[in-house]
Chain A
Amino acid sequence: GAVVSQHPSWVICKSGTSVKIECRSLDFQATTMFWYRQFPKQSLMLMATSNEGSKATYEQGVEKDKFLINHASLTLSTLTVTSAHPEDSSFYICSARVGGLGYEQYFGPGTRLTVT
């Protein structure tokens, strides 16, 4: 149980275009999902907390107009990187919490974004 999927697993896009990444909880409902970014050989950096039916909460220094997050249902959250630039190239990982009261998070397999 507690499986989280991401799509796509790998994407290459041209500078200036937008890319959408989907995060789904497959066997549970997730009122809260999280989006992280990870650079090579570094730990995870929380970008934003996504709550179903409400606006996402962004961490300090994360541009909310650049990284658009939508959590339209209890099983789906999306991250759209708008007007992507090469410095946005990274590994993006989502996670979800089972229900609303647990503390442990289950992670997706990640999406590798390369902006050329």
Chain B
Amino acid sequence: QKEVEQDPGPLSVPEGAIVSLNCTYSNSAFQYFMWYRQYSRKGPELLMYTYSSGNKEDGRFTAQVDKSSKYISLFIRDSQPSDSATYLCAMSEYTGTASKLTFGTGTRLQVTL
């Protein structure tokens, strides 16, 4: 079993829809959670990061963490064609120099007109 599970998709939604992207994890030591967006042939772009359970909002994006269920989500409101990309969840046990990220496999999102 992988430490981080993420549905690879593809997920296709119409423009304006609310998108829900999810990851589950098995390592209860993970404390820090991130969401990245990656366009084809580009490096990942950090969208959201949080270390606490609950919701964190930034513009159209909301990150949700439920440590008791080992489940994290990213919600995208009013989705746009420019949101079409692969979304990667990532998490780590520590901060500081010892910290490494464990990634999900990524979910490919397609927002159609």
Contacts and interface: CB of A to CB of B under 8 A. Distances in A.
A86 to B, nearest CB: 19
A93 to B, nearest CB: 5
Interface string B36-71: 100001111110010100000000000000000000
Contacts of A44: 44, 88, 103
Interface string A90-105: 0101010100111111
Interface in A71-116: 91, 93, 95, 97, 100-110, 112
Interface SS majority for chain A = strand
Interface in A39-95: 42-44, 46, 49, 51, 91, 93, 95
Nearest to A104: B49
A32 interface: yes
Interface residues of A, number: 28
Contacts of B100: 34, 46, 49
A31 interface: yes
A105 B101 contact: yes
Given A103-B51, A104-B34, A109 B43 contact: yes
